[in-house]
């Protein structure tokens, strides 16, 4: 009944996997290998015309966008809720999930593309790369592939993305100095969304996330890493 | 009990005004004049530290972000609901409100800033402009003010924004060819969000929104313009 199309437990794919694991949902996992461009295959584009992961198929209906998927499954399967039980708490949670989607995630994503895409495309000839690009449904994504493959993101854009990762952690730190979880006293989809982007921050940007400069976020991250659902999602990695 | 801080009935301020009018909520309107930089005043920044409109104060609690505000009031005041009554319908609605926030609105906003900011700042000396900038809380917004005031958005960025307005209308047209409203059979926050950006499209980009190229969207827009709540929100204009 629940078919989840996802990549590795990172970024937006991790966002849905964490939610599904926290809620102990039974689902069929469909691994979409972004390193083999499976997200642009006709079979997958028939499910999500944007050619992006994740996507959920529930009772024959397709739901896209990781943030929307998580709100959806939390409504349809209300056991083990992942939203605060007040409207105010839910509003605070949604400010966070929105901040992740509009600010934090694009910054991490840009730097990720800059470092990863060159390896993904290095085995392709120029003609093969152009053939691959033709199958990318969204114009914006085609532009991003071309820039990333050519290592051509403007340096000031990469610097700005890095700055935004820093301000994102600062914002988390301020909140986590006041409340146990990001939306208040309740563990929620806000924590799940932020974790997908901060899990690897100590490795890639230790200057932004360490015990000294962001002690509350450091403690929160340790608590997140101990959650059985987080461990279960990370155990789904194939790389 | 409901204090709404907003600007003219355009963009994100219109998004909340339309919602409040549709739901026939009693609220105190606080007009924040963006032409006088009132959104950066210490009084307003005490309410929304980001220095952006709209903001809602309900029973002493501040709620920011127009999309979050609309979901909040629809939960707290469930009479005259503005969400579909199924989880699937709400997911479809949220894909639209998210699309507006992440794709359609930034495109319209960029072009709006390019055309409007030069008039807003033309009475300021260079020193006064720098003083104004110092009060802008967000670094990203300071950069945007400087670029817009100097008419320095890259032409290719403006062209790309225009293209995205076109693809946004195309996406609406496809949906409105299948269902009466954007999220299905139910008038919802998705229609409200899209209206804030399409109300002026026939005037500024008639090539994208006219009776011939987007007949369903044209009809939808006419139906929107006839709604008493839309008329009531538009009647709040001071300019």
pLDDT tens track of chain B, all 239 residues? 999 999 999 999 999 999 999 999 999 999 999 999 999 999 999 999 999 999 999 999 999 999 999 999 999 999 999 999 999 999 999 999 999 999 999 999 999 999 999 999 999 999 999 999 999 999 999 999 999 999 999 999 999 999 999 999 999 999 999 999 999 999 999 999 999 999 999 999 999 999 999 999 999 999 999 999 999 999 999 98
A167/B139 CB distance under 8 A: yes
Does this model's pTM top 0.90? yes
Quick check: is B232 in a domain? no
Residues of B whose CB is below 8 A from A102: 101-102
Q: Write down the pLDDT at residue A239.
A: 84
* Residue numbers of the domain that contains A127: 87-227
ipTM rounded to 2 decimals: 0.96
Do both B68 and B93 map to the same domain?
no
Kindly give, in sequence order, each residue whose CB lies less than 8 Å from that of residue A224, ignoring residues fewer than 6 positions away.
Answer: A191, A195, A199, A230
Quick check: is A39 in a domain? yes
Which residues does B contribute to its contact with A (CB < 8 Å)? 61, 63-65, 67-69, 71-72, 75-76, 87-88, 90-91, 94-95, 98, 101-102, 139, 163, 167
> What does DSSP say about strands A28-31 and A2-6: parallel, antiparallel, or unpaired?
parallel
Tally of CB atoms within 10 A around A204: 14
What pLDDT, in 10s, does the model give residues A128-150?
999 999 999 999 999 999 999 99
A90/B71 CB distance under 8 A: yes
**What does B3-21 look like in DSSP terms, one character per residue?**
EEEE-SSSHHHHHHHHHHH
Q: How far is CA B17 from CA A161, B8, B196, in A?
A: 33, 9, 10
Tell me: pLDDT of A216 over 90. Answer: yes
Residues of B whose CB is below 8 A from A91: 63, 68-69, 71-72
B71/A88 CB distance under 8 A: no
Do both A109 and A55 map to the same domain?
no
Do both A126 and A215 map to the same domain?
yes
Confidence of residue A174 (pLDDT cuts 50, 70, 90): very high
Query: Shortest Cα distance from A16 to chain B (angstroms)?
Result: 14
Do both A163 and A199 map to the same domain?
yes
Residues of A whose CB is below 8 A from B67: 94, 98
Quick check: is B157 in a domain? yes
User: Of the residues B76, B95, B112, which one is the last residue of a structural domain?
Assistant: B76
Average model confidence (pLDDT) across chain A: 97
Do both B168 and B213 map to the same domain?
yes
What pLDDT, in 10s, does the model give residues A64-118?
999 999 999 999 999 999 999 999 999 999 999 999 999 999 999 999 999 999 9
Do both A135 and A193 map to the same domain?
yes
* Contact between A15 and A72 (Cβ < 8 Å): no
Do both B106 and B210 map to the same domain?
yes
Kindly give, in sequence order, each residue whose CB lies less than 8 Å from that of residue A235, ignoring residues fewer than 6 positions away.
Answer: none
Quick check: is A148 in a domain? yes
A98/B67 CB distance under 8 A: yes
């Amino acid at each position: 009944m629940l078919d989840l199309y996802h990549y590795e437990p990172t970024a937006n794919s991790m966002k849905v996997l964490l939610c599904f694991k926290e809620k102990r949902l039974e689902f069929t996992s469909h691994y979409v290998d972004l390193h083999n461009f499976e997200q642009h295959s006709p079979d997958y584009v028939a499910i999500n015309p944007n050619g992006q992961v994740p996507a959920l198929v529930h009772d024959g209906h397709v739901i896209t966008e990781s943030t929307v998927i998580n709100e959806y499954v939390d409504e349809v399967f209300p056991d083990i809720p992942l939203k605060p039980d007040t409207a105010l708490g839910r509003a605070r949670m949604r400010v966070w999930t929105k901040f992740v989607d509009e600010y934090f995630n694009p910054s991490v994503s840009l730097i990720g593309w800059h470092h990863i895409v060159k390896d993904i495309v290095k085995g392709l000839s120029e003609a093969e790369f152009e053939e691959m690009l033709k199958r990318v449904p969204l114009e914006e994504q085609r532009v991003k592939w071309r820039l990333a493959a050519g290592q051509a993101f403007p340096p000031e854009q990469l610097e700005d993305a890095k700055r935004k990762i820093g301000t994102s952690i600062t914002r988390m730190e301020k909140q986590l100095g006041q409340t146990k979880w990001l939306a208040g006293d309740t563990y929620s989809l806000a924590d799940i969304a932020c974790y997908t982007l901060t899990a690897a921050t100590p490795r890639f940007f230790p200057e932004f996330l360490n015990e000294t400069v962001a002690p509350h976020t450091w403690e929160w991250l340790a608590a997140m890493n101990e959650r059985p659902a987080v461990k279960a999602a990370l155990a789904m990695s194939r790389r």
